[in-house]
Structures are given as C-alpha cells and as structure tokens.
Chains A and B, each alone.
Chain A
Amino acid sequence: MKAAREVGIAGYGAYVPRYRVLTETISSTWRPRGAAAAAVAEKSVPGPDEDVVTMAIEAARVAVGRAGFDPGAIGAVWVGSESKPYAVKPSATIVAEAVGIAPAVVAADMEFACKAGSEAMQAAVAFVGAGMVDGALAIGMDTAQSKPGDALEYTAGCGGAAFLFAASDESLATVEASVSHVTDTPDFFRREGAAYPEHGGRFTGEPSYFRHSLAASRRLLAEVGAEPGDFAHAVFHQPVPKFVTRIAAELGFDAQQIEAGLLAPRMGNAYAGSSLLGLAAILDIARPGERVFFCSYGSGAGSDAFAFRVTERIRARREGPGVVDYLARRREIDDYGHYLRLQRKIRRS
C-alpha cells in the first residue's frame, strides 16, 4: 500500500519504565527447582503511578518535541494497546490533552492485541497521505497482563513508542510502502471483564506468529522490490527472542540486521509496544540513507509490515532520551509480592 502523497516519520519517542523483575524471582514462586530457564532473564514492570496513558504521554511529548512540530498542526492521535486503563473511555483523549493537541483532532484507541500500535501507524500514514491532516500521532504502548504462574508471566513486559507522521519532506524517515496480512486465528484472546488473557495451545507459534509475519514480510519485499540484504536493520514483534531470530533467518535477514531492534532479552515482550519500541531503538542509531524493515504481529491474528528509508534529518531529531537511556535507569524489584502489587494483580481492598 502506498499513500497518495509521500509520508514519513517526523518525530519519535520511546518509553520503558524504570523497574525490572528477574524471571528467576517469578520462577522461585511457581517453578520446581531445576526447571529450565525462562526465555528472557528480566522484564520491565510499571511503577505504582504508571499505566498506558502516562507512558504514552511521555513518548508522545518526546516525539512531538523532536519533530519541532506545532502541536496545533497534529490532526490525529491513536493509541494502540491491550492494557488501557479504562475499558470504556479513550486513552487517546487524555494523551491529546496532555500533549496539547486537543480539541481539533481525531482520536481513538486501537485494539488488535500486539498489532494495535502498527494499526495506528497504518491509519496515520493514510490520514497524512490523503492530505486530511498535516500530522498524525501513532502510539503503541502496553503494560502487558498475564496470569500469575502462567507461561506468559515470564515475558509479559511493558513499554512502547510514539511516532509522529507528516509529509515526507519534513521526515527523518520516509515510508516506502506498507502491507497487512490478517486471518481469523484463535491463538490468544481476553474476554470483556476478564483480568487476564487466555492462549490457545497449539495455535501459538507456527500458525499464528510465523505464518502472519512471513506472509506480510514477503508481501512487503515484493511490493518494494527489495531483498532482505537491501535493509540495514530489521525489527519484528518480540514474544520471545528465539521467535525473532528464527523469523529473521527464514526470511534471510542476518543477526547483525536484527541486533539494534531486538530488545526482548532486556525487558521482555512489550506487546503492542514491542515492535514500535524496536523501531525507535533502530532510529536511535540509524544513518541517513539506510533502509529499515519493520514487521509487527498481533494475535487474532495479523501482521503489518513497513519499509522505511532514513533521511539526513535523523541526526537533528534525536535530542533527549533514547531507548538505551530508558533501559539504563534500571531498578530491580526483588520480591514477588511487590511485583504483584506493581502489576495491580493484588491490591488493598
């Protein structure tokens, strides 16, 4: 898919909370001694006063600030998440108000499991590409939920990123094209009112993550007429690190290409924020002229893939905190009870 007019990213911002829990701390409660090590060594945990709204506000402020964009010229804001603080009441209006872009703005929350953030990116490209608005803010952010003791508890992390899309002549990276691939797949879901998601056994992995990520990635490569080797960097959705290394290998990307965007080993899976945060980490180090390959995955199921080309404006648009700065301010939570409280899995009545 290509927009009628060329679109790019004018500014971006990331967010990862300060707290980490070692997966050992979780296994010491739930797993027998000597059980196999978890897929990641530690994961990010939100602070007691944080949620998807507060995290989205910080990433959005950095994105708008870096773009040097008049907030009044931003005409759309979408927040993609599966852990929004209200079941009914948009996160996007709170973010729009806090960033100073309300009220003349289209705003809503996107829902598509871990693909909600890239869904917001597709919409932003379309609105700007159609000439309806000058700037559109797309955010993917999660404080991922998981049942205590469930396999997902070892990787469900939190974080995400915000991207301000605008006309390509103002951008730090232009959008070459994007594609999407969706099917009705029962791999993971959460019913209304349920505190935690369920996952559908044999539907995880092969028929879901791999099938959709491969299909969207191959469609995008065909659409832009490129080979994996033409891209300096590639980022995928990151449920566990080994999924990313395997999908990259199947497509023909090497370890070096996925290195900058692979954050799951240090913070777990940020769900709707996962691939967007990886893209932000790539933009933190990318050089002008480099091409960047992006592919998300969300259960239910689908993938969005984007090809970007970095411009010389990137050098002037990295002021302020990068992904590494957020990862570096690390504070370990060494107690499972404290971790449960921060995740709001237990609370004082």
Chain B
Amino acid sequence: MQLPRFHRLRSAYYHLEGQACSACGAVQFPARRSCLACRSEELERRPLSGRGTVFSYSEAVAGFEGFAPPHLMALIELEEGPMVAAQLSDVEPEEIEIGMEVEMVTRRIRELAPQGYIVYGYRFRPRLEVEAGR
C-alpha cells in the first residue's frame, strides 16, 4: 500500500519543503537526517522558492505505470542550490533548453489506480511570462 508514503511526503510534494543546515548553511532537498555537506543533524525546515533552471533533461519513451505521458524528465537546479529530479509540464520536447528558467507547479503526478487515489506533487514549467507595465 503506497498511500501512507505519499501522504507522509506531502510537505515535500506540495511545498517543495527542504532543509537549511544550522551549522554550515547548506540547503538540501529532500529532507534527510543529516546535512549532506557537513553531516550536522541540526537542520531546520526550509520551503524552497520553486524557481530554478533546467540542468539536464530527457524524454522517456516507455510509459510508467500510473503516470500520464508525455514523460519529460528533468534535473532542475533550484536557486537555493539543491538539484531536484522532476517532470516538466506545459512544454513540448522541442521547446526545452538547458538553462531554461522554470518554476514549480503543483500537478497530478500519479493515480494509484484508474479510480484510485490521486497524488498531487511538484512539477516544473517554463517560467510564466508576465506582461510589463500592467
């Protein structure tokens, strides 16, 4: 039963909540027991801005169970530093570029069965262009 796991992860899934290390200041995502940089266990919760850039990406040809195609997998370098693996939304494969500015959105990331529980979580889309001077 995967339901308890998805439920437990919802801070990370909904808010992109990571951690800041009180000892060395490093920011990491997702939450871990100790700091990846200095191993300190003094960590505080840190919701991340959700802004970042595409570090790398690939288009998965085969489907994953419970996921709707297309599968545009990317590594996103967040502005706070951590790297996060996530799917891209609202973009066609030919529009993606390394270094493209993206922002976190909350989307349906899987369904546990055709009429089953819907898991919501983070994906990234090209940063929305806002018309200046309004």
> CB of A150 within 8 A of chain B?
no
Min C-beta distance of A303 to chain B, whole Å: 30
B106 A320 Cβ-Cβ under 8 A? no
A-B contact count (CB 8 A): 66
Partner of B90, one of A47, A86, A325, A328: A47
> CB of B51 within 8 A of chain A?
no
> CB of A245 within 8 A of chain B?
no
In the complex, chain A residues 303-341 whose Cβ is within 8 Å of any chain B Cβ: 318, 320-322, 324-326, 328-329, 331
Stretch at the interface among A93-101, A154-162, A227-235: A93-101
Query: Knowing A48-B68, A49-B68, A85-B118 touch, does A58 contact B106 (C-beta < 8 A)?
Result: yes
Encode B104-133 as 1/0 by CB contact (under 8 A) with A: 011111000010001010010000111100
A47 B89 Cβ-Cβ under 8 A? yes
Query: Knowing A49-B89, A321-B130, A322-B131 touch, does A97 contact B14 (C-beta < 8 A)?
Result: yes
Chain B contact-residue range equals 20 to 34
Which of B69, B109, B120 has the most chain A CB atoms inside 10 A of its CB?
B120
> CB of B94 within 8 A of chain A?
no
> CB of B15 within 8 A of chain A?
yes
Query: Knowing A18-B90, A47-B89 touch, does A54 contact B106 (C-beta < 8 A)?
Result: yes
> CB of B33 within 8 A of chain A?
no
CB-nearest residue of chain A relative to B68?
Answer: A48
A331 B114 Cβ-Cβ under 8 A? no
A320 B118 Cβ-Cβ under 8 A? no
Query: Knowing A50-B108, A51-B108, A58-B105 touch, does A325 contact B131 (C-beta < 8 A)?
Result: yes
In the complex, chain A residues 270-288 whose Cβ is within 8 Å of any chain B Cβ: 284-285
Encode A88-113 as 1/0 by CB contact (under 8 A) with B: 00000010011010000000000000
> CB of A216 within 8 A of chain B?
no
Q: Which residues of B contact A328 (CB under 8 A)?
A: 129, 131
Min C-beta distance of A288 to chain B, whole Å: 15
> CB of A244 within 8 A of chain B?
no
How many angstroms from the CA of A54 to the CA of B68 in the assembled complex? 15
A325 B89 Cβ-Cβ under 8 A? no
Partner of A331, one of B70, B92, B107, B128: B92
> CB of B5 within 8 A of chain A?
no
How many angstroms from the CA of A94 to the CA of B68 in the assembled complex? 21
CB-nearest residue of chain B relative to A319?
Answer: B130
> CB of A191 within 8 A of chain B?
no
Q: Which residues of B contact A318 (CB under 8 A)?
A: 134
Q: Which residues of A contact B134 (CB under 8 A)?
A: 284-285, 318, 322, 324
Partner of A325, one of B68, B108, B128: B128
CB-nearest residue of chain B relative to A17?
Answer: B90
How many angstroms from the CA of A97 to the CA of B8 in the assembled complex? 13
Partner of A322, one of B90, B114, B130: B130
CB-nearest residue of chain B relative to A341?
Answer: B68
Min C-beta distance of A308 to chain B, whole Å: 19
A97 B131 Cβ-Cβ under 8 A? no
Encode A227-260 as 1/0 by CB contact (under 8 A) with B: 0000000000000000000000000000000000
> CB of B10 within 8 A of chain A?
yes
CB-nearest residue of chain A relative to B47?
Answer: A100
In the complex, chain B residues 32-49 whose Cβ is within 8 Å of any chain A Cβ: none
Min C-beta distance of A229 to chain B, whole Å: 26
Q: Which residues of A contact B107 (CB under 8 A)?
A: 47, 49-50, 54
How many angstroms from the CA of A47 to the CA of B134 in the assembled complex? 27
Min C-beta distance of B112 to chain A, whole Å: 13
How many angstroms from the CA of A322 to the CA of B131 in the assembled complex? 8
> CB of A77 within 8 A of chain B?
no
Interface residues of B (CB under 8 A from A): 10, 14-15, 68-70, 87, 89-90, 92, 105-109, 114, 118, 120, 123, 128-131, 134
A-B contacts besides A53-B120, A54-B105, 11 pairs, CB < 8 Å: A49-B68, A49-B87, A51-B118, A54-B120, A94-B120, A98-B14, A100-B15, A321-B128, A325-B130, A328-B131, A329-B90
Interface residues of A (CB under 8 A from B): 18, 47-51, 53-54, 57-58, 85-86, 94, 97-98, 100, 284-285, 318, 320-322, 324-326, 328-329, 331, 347, 349
A selection of 9 A-B contacts at a CB cut-off of 8 Å is: A18-B90, A58-B105, A85-B108, A97-B10, A98-B106, A285-B134, A322-B131, A325-B130, A329-B90
